[in-house]
Chains A and B, each alone.
Chain A
Amino acid sequence: MYSYSEFDEAFVRARVAQFSQQVERRIDGSLTEDEFRPLRLMNGLYLQLHAYMLRVAIPYGTLNPRQMRQLAHIAQTWDKGYGHFTTRQNIQFNWPKLPDVPAILTALADVGMHAIQTSGNCVRNVTSDHFAGAAADEVEDPRPYAELLRQWSTDHPEFQFLPRKFKIAVTGAEHDRAVIKAHDIGLRVLKNEQGETGFEVIVGGGLGRTPMIGMTVREFLPVNDLLPYVEAVLSVYNTLGRRDNKYKARIKITLHETGKEEITRLIEARFAELRPLFGGADQNLLAEIKAAFAPPAFRNAPVDAYDAFYKADPVFRAWADTNLAQHRNDQYAIVTISLKKHGETPGDATADQMRLMADLAEQYGHSELRISHEQNVILPHVHKGDLPAIHAALVKAGLGTANVGLISDIIACPGMDYCALATARSIPVAQEIAMRFEELKLEHDIGPLKIKISGCINACGHHHVGHIGILGLDRAGVENYQITLGGDGSETAVVGERAGPGFAYDEIVPAIERIVRAYLEQREGPQETFLQAYRRLGLGPFKEALYPAEGTKDAA
């Protein structure tokens, strides 16, 4: 696994020391809030609805057990005993107190972690496929490229004050698990006809107020050109991006206002200037990084125990069917640990649960953990023979829920339970949907279905790309929930369609149930997923199910 270089270590320590002094000066009154606010945001510290919130970066969602244990320690020592994993593969602590933040940042630095560039108009945490380095369908592990981008973008002097935040995602597989088409830059590792490695470069995707699917600006970018090309994109955006209007400041708007042809010309012109300045040091660094991401020494042992357990134990079988994914090594599996137990808060883990996951990773998982943007934790390399033991340990800790990819595996932003920007709550809606379908015992019958909930138009909960998306709004002083249908965050990405008028808080769960029942009635069989059925049927039948009274009125 990649670990920080001396340079990284010194940089992070220097920043902790600097910010500790800034906190001290804020508390003693030498700094006003106006002076302090940009400084704290540069270090991931927000002031939310009820308390401060510290957002800690987990680069490309990769953690080692020591880091996970330190997160548990922080949760227990300075917070309320839990952490919240986010849709950007980060972790948020919801209750830190300002005087404790320097100690928390020091504890993070002790394990090579920090909260730098988790806020502000800079390049944010580079995200990646949570199955990276393990997935059977992968061309190459995308994380070395993500790490190269992380090093290049960290404290990059030219890009600390962009028109707006900037998000990059990298995947190494054709099947997109990293939502790359909804990022400012999405990169997909691929091979060309000559067998050389490169990237498909997608620019201008994003959710939020103006959801857009990114456009491919380069079909094949050679690996050597990655940094100068990304720098060219950012450089053009930094020049053209609008600073007069926050809502029009993301690169997706720049792209649309400038036109794909013209912006591509500008990017290529800037790239021609920048390319000669990259003399190969970046490629030497990449080679070093790649060595650190070498796959673990996989164990060669029989998998009989797994097969026997799978046949004998229906609870284990249900979990294996939903929570395991195919590993590139036939004897191995990728384990997704669900942080979506019915009725619990999506993405939350207690300190004890974090420690257990760290222990399991150490004992059975080649000491690797991942955080997915779907707010679950992954053990990417588990020998199948160890799965029964892992499952038993997870069940005991309340982490054995067999629901990955199903209706209760919901993405939900913190919403108005925590977030100062939120216009409505998300978490209780997710909890109630999960509980309702658990009560109906329908979720395994329903099959793959992604519900994503955002508590405001900024769309941290990715509702636009949910098969069913829910957006919470404030309508005349009351919580109101809009539904979108048919969204897709994969390689066939599409923004969902608005179903119609919104629903009150106490109407939203029954509304979701009506949609799901309409699907169950109209599907061609269990093999036809919700999304496939929606694509075949269109909005019509779901709209009728959602607004039955209006249907009658129209007919009359």
Chain B
Amino acid sequence: MARFTPKVVTANALLEGDVVYLTADDRWTRRHEDAELIEDEAHAQLRLLHAMSQGNVVVGAYLADAKAGENGPEPTHFREVFRTRGPSNYLHGKQAELN
């Protein structure tokens, strides 16, 4: 069986549409590095179920590949990298709002 790659739970906030991540203490954060890095497959499913039960706060929760980094989890796929910062044509979205 393929080895489980670490994940974070991500979604979009219902009201603003912003990209959000689930933290280990059940908050939704805008910062990828504050997300809970999940290294166990069964635990990942439980965390995803928990996220999906919060349909009045977030939309479209899913598990995204991630890896451990210096300041916390980092995305591995370019799509998830873009989601952490915003579009490349304007300084809009997280890259403008979080720094």
Q: Are B18 and A51 in contact (CB under 8 A)?
A: yes
Q: Are A50 and B89 in contact (CB under 8 A)?
A: no
Determine which of B12, B55, B56, B87 lies in contact with A47 in the assembled complex, contact meaning CB atoms within 8 Å: B12
Contacts of A417 in B (CB 8 A): 82, 87-89
Nearest B residue to A427 via CB reads B89
CA distance A32 to B52 in the complex (A): 11
Instruction: Decide yes or no whether B4 CB sits under 8 A from chain A.
Output: no
Q: Measured between C-beta atoms, what is the minimum distance from A32 to chain B in Å?
A: 6
Instruction: Decide yes or no whether A49 CB sits under 8 A from chain B.
Output: yes
Nearest A residue to B61 via CB reads A33
Contacts of B90 in A (CB 8 A): 80, 345
CA distance A17 to B55 in the complex (A): 24
CA distance A166 to B79 in the complex (A): 29
Contacts of B78 in A (CB 8 A): 416, 474, 477-479
Instruction: Decide yes or no whether B50 CB sits under 8 A from chain A.
Output: no
Q: Which of B5-24 contact A (CB under 8 A)?
A: 12, 14-19
Contacts of B19 in A (CB 8 A): 49-50
CA distance A425 to B88 in the complex (A): 9
Instruction: Decide yes or no whether B59 CB sits under 8 A from chain A.
Output: yes
Q: Are B56 and A50 in contact (CB under 8 A)?
A: no
Q: Determine the main DSSP class of B at the interface with A.
A: loop
CA distance A431 to B89 in the complex (A): 9
Instruction: Decide yes or no whether B93 CB sits under 8 A from chain A.
Output: yes
Nearest A residue to B93 via CB reads A50
Contacts of A427 in B (CB 8 A): 87-89
Instruction: Decide yes or no whether A428 CB sits under 8 A from chain B.
Output: yes
State whether A428 and B88 are in contact (beta carbons under 8 Å apart), knowing that A50-B93, A98-B14 are contacts in the complex. yes
Q: Are B17 and A418 in contact (CB under 8 A)?
A: no
Band of interface residues on A: 20 to 34
Q: Are B18 and A50 in contact (CB under 8 A)?
A: yes
Nearest A residue to B83 via CB reads A49
Q: Are B16 and A98 in contact (CB under 8 A)?
A: yes
Q: Are A50 and B86 in contact (CB under 8 A)?
A: yes
Instruction: Decide yes or no whether B92 CB sits under 8 A from chain A.
Output: yes
Instruction: Decide yes or no whether B3 CB sits under 8 A from chain A.
Output: no
Q: Measured between C-beta atoms, what is the minimum distance from B93 to chain A in Å?
A: 5
Q: Measured between C-beta atoms, what is the minimum distance from A340 to chain B in Å?
A: 13
Q: Which of A11-49 contact B (CB under 8 A)?
A: 26-27, 29, 32-33, 47-49
CA distance A477 to B75 in the complex (A): 12
Q: Are A98 and B89 in contact (CB under 8 A)?
A: no
Instruction: Decide yes or no whether B43 CB sits under 8 A from chain A.
Output: no
Contacts of B18 in A (CB 8 A): 50-51
Q: Are A49 and B56 in contact (CB under 8 A)?
A: no
Instruction: Decide yes or no whether A302 CB sits under 8 A from chain B.
Output: no
CA distance A406 to B57 in the complex (A): 47
Q: Measured between C-beta atoms, what is the minimum distance from B28 to chain A in Å?
A: 15
State whether A27 and B83 are in contact (beta carbons under 8 Å apart), knowing that A50-B19, A428-B89, A479-B78 are contacts in the complex. no
Question: A394-437: contact bitstring with B at CB < 8 Å (1 yes, 0 no)?
Answer: 00000000000000000000001110000001011001000000
Q: Are A32 and B55 in contact (CB under 8 A)?
A: yes
Instruction: Decide yes or no whether A60 CB sits under 8 A from chain B.
Output: no
Contacts of B86 in A (CB 8 A): 50
Contacts of A33 in B (CB 8 A): 14, 55, 59-60
Nearest A residue to B86 via CB reads A50
Contacts of A474 in B (CB 8 A): 78-79
Query: 9 closest pairs, A vs B, by CB?
Result: A417-B87, A51-B17, A52-B17, A29-B56, A345-B89, A427-B89, A50-B93, A428-B88, A97-B16
**What are 15 A-to-B residue pairs whose CB atoms are below 8 Å?**
A27-B14, A33-B14, A47-B59, A47-B60, A51-B16, A80-B90, A94-B92, A98-B14, A98-B15, A98-B16, A416-B82, A417-B87, A417-B88, A425-B82, A428-B88
B residues with CB within 8 A of A: 12, 14-19, 55-56, 59-60, 76-79, 82-83, 86-90, 92-94
A residues with CB within 8 A of B: 26-27, 29, 32-33, 47-52, 80, 94-95, 97-99, 345, 416-418, 425, 427-428, 431, 474, 477-479
> Told that A416-B82, A431-B89 touch, could you supply 13 new A-B pairs with CB distance under 8 A?
A27-B14, A33-B14, A33-B59, A49-B19, A50-B17, A50-B83, A50-B94, A97-B17, A416-B79, A417-B82, A417-B87, A417-B88, A477-B77
